[in-house]
Amino acid sequence: MGRKVTVATCSLNQWSLDFEGNYERILKSIEIAKTHQAKYRLGPELEICGYGCADHFYESDTLLHSFQVLRKLLESPVTQDIICDVGMPIMHQNVRYNCRVLFLNRKILLIRPKMLMANQGIYRELRWFSPWNLNVEEYFLPRIIQEVTGQDTVPFGDCVLSTKDTCIGTEICAELWNPRSPHVNMGLDGVEIFTNSSASHHELRKANQRVDLIKSATTKSGGIYLYANQRGCDGDRVYYDGCAMVAINGDVVARGAQFSLGDVEVVTATVDLEDVFKCPYSSIRLFSDRVSEHKPCRRVRVDFSLSACDDVYLPTHQPIIWNFHTPEEEISLGPACWLWDYLRRSGQTGFLLPLSGGVDSSSTACIVHSMCVLLCQAVKDSNTQVLSDIRRVVGDDSYCPQEARELCGRIFTTCYMASENSSSETQNRAKDLACQIGSTHLNINIDMAVKGILGIFTMVTGMCPRFRVNGGSHRENLALQNIQARVRMVLAYLFAQLSLWASGRPGGLLVLGSANVDESLTGYFTKYDCSSADINPIGGISKTDLKSFLLYCTERFQLTALTRILASPPTAELEPLTDGQVSQTDEADMGMTYSELSMIGRLRKISKCGPFSMFCKLIHIWKDLLSPMEVAQKVKHFFRMYSVNRHKMTTVTPSYHAEGYSPDDNRFDHRPFLYNTLWTWQFRCIDNQVEISVLCVNIT
């Protein structure tokens, strides 16, 4: 028959500007693809330089080194006899483009620039690249490429590749998510194989959207869809979550892992091109001239076949069921992989976490424990790269971890920082959890440092501040809480730098933070306290999801200490105890529950609501719980807190991006940090609406 083709796609853990490592991972993926008899290899978006180069894309060095890597790939014998599809930035007529370069046997076949850019959420592609909106032009290759290929120019633009047995069209990442996706027009013009090279980041509950889009791309008119994605932390707040896959006629037939510690994962599939025409809706192609005035695709011909002549007995891949991770599993896997990438690439030797015995810091501790579980499993699965990285991190070339608790003790230090306002209950909870996960645990009392700082203030001013319960003012009460919180940050960094030195071990520790997304949203934390750390794996996760995650960890990792932590009300323990018991709780301090905060956060960011439109939505969402006047009070209280504390987001610890309503102002949530906190006009609109609702009630 000669119509069965074997194709390969991959997930690569690329690192921005790591040209040497990126080259090796690309070459390795091509080598693996060839061992599976693949004739086409697809890689992630901008894989040569790394997707997250940001303003380094402005630098001519980035363009130069990308071409140098491309030359090495062209020259390598590994890339012979397989069509290679790689991503890199290219300057054409003094304009930068995000491009795919397709080559075969030391010849560049075509360069396809991205046409529809990702410029929402965390993405800012229009800052560095221009979208291509022309047809096809000739691109003059740089001299270092001409010397290898013997070509002066190659096609550059919106074109497809026509082999002797099929036609292949390219999409790049966001083009799949766009209502004007190129695959629609290409499918109507007879393209059979669609490829998508992505740098798509992880968000909780997002994976099914991606899979549904890919399946739908070939459901209507038939076709084969290859999806490649980056994986891992490439130097920023996001984690790219793999999921490389191959689909045909709306069915996924091969897939890779969403989360993995492996640097290179190749997914291959053998599919029958004849099946494309057996798609129930493929007859649409026959009437394409009538149903759509589609634009004919410019075809670049290549004397090469993806199929062999005699393939009757070659088995094809059959549809599989995609089982998605639960949000709790996603939290245990995504941030854990992100932490490992950060640790091994930072050159540090472990983590230090201030462990308070509450939900947030316990969640961070459990994520580190999950990381250790994944590492031990990878070692058991003979992942030599992971074992090599572990040995380098712990500084022992002969070390081989046997179980997670043992590894945790080597790379993870936790510390409970007690004050006179701390309860024995939280101290015991922290100690028990540390014991169960295996971390090196320290008990530190901060009272001496706090009294020393207050002594300096008293010596200079002659005044001694008091807590509110002792007759002090609100200002005094807040200042005394902040002193404790900030002392903890200073001590955390001190012990991170010197605790290994004190025990005769080399290296330093990365300080982990544990402020959740809801607390960041309202500013319910002290600026430069323990929320100030090197990185924060839970900074993009809601309190509600964290509680569910800890419940999952209780069963998954048999961490029974979490039961008491979940049963206890969240508290900062910064005010004096009452009869030895905690009198301060987070939700009482904030004036709203964490579930209410989560809803408000989603409306503010995802639904793009200001105070008035949020009120208008919430009076319906909460109609069975709160009156319009109570909703108004909640909304106004939130926006006052939010605007007063927004300045804290300018110094917030870099956090794992996991939620669509994250307030991170680095790349995701761009807002001012100096507000008119009275919101006079907006709040007056709310008050007017409340008055109308009261009148309506009185009339009825």
Pick from 253, 257, 194: nearest CA to 220 = 194
In the residue annotation, 173 being an active-site residue is answered as yes
d(CA 263, CA 265): 7
Buried b (16+ CB within 10 A) or exposed e, 632-658: bbbbbebbbbbbebbebbeebbbbbbb
Phi, psi of 78 (to 5 degrees): -65, -30
In the residue annotation, 547 being an active-site residue is answered as no
Strands of 440-445's sheet in order across = 440-445, 412-418, 351-354, 510-511
Residue among 10, 49, 173, 279 flagged as catalytic:
173
User: What value does the CA radius of gyration of the chain take, rounded to a whole number of Å?
Assistant: 28
Residue among 198, 332, 356, 520 flagged as catalytic:
356
Q: How many helices (H) and strands (E) does the chain have?
A: 22, 20
Residue among 39, 114, 547, 605 flagged as catalytic:
114
From the CB of residue 388, how many other CB atoms can be counted at a distance below 10 Å? 12
> Tokens 């933070």 sit at which residue?
513
Is 22 strand, coil or helix? helix
Phi, psi of 244 (to 5 degrees): -55, 140
In the residue annotation, 45 being an active-site residue is answered as yes
Q: Which residues contact 64 (CB under 8 A, 6 or more apart)?
A: none
Pick from 229, 246, 220: nearest CA to 322 = 246
Q: Which two tokens stand for residue 524?
A: 């319910």
d(CA 109, CA 73): 14
Pick from 443, 444, 364, 445: nearest CA to 408 = 364
Phi-psi map region of 105: left, alpha, beta (phi>0 left; psi -120 to 50 alpha): left
Q: Which residues are catalytic?
A: 45, 114, 173, 356
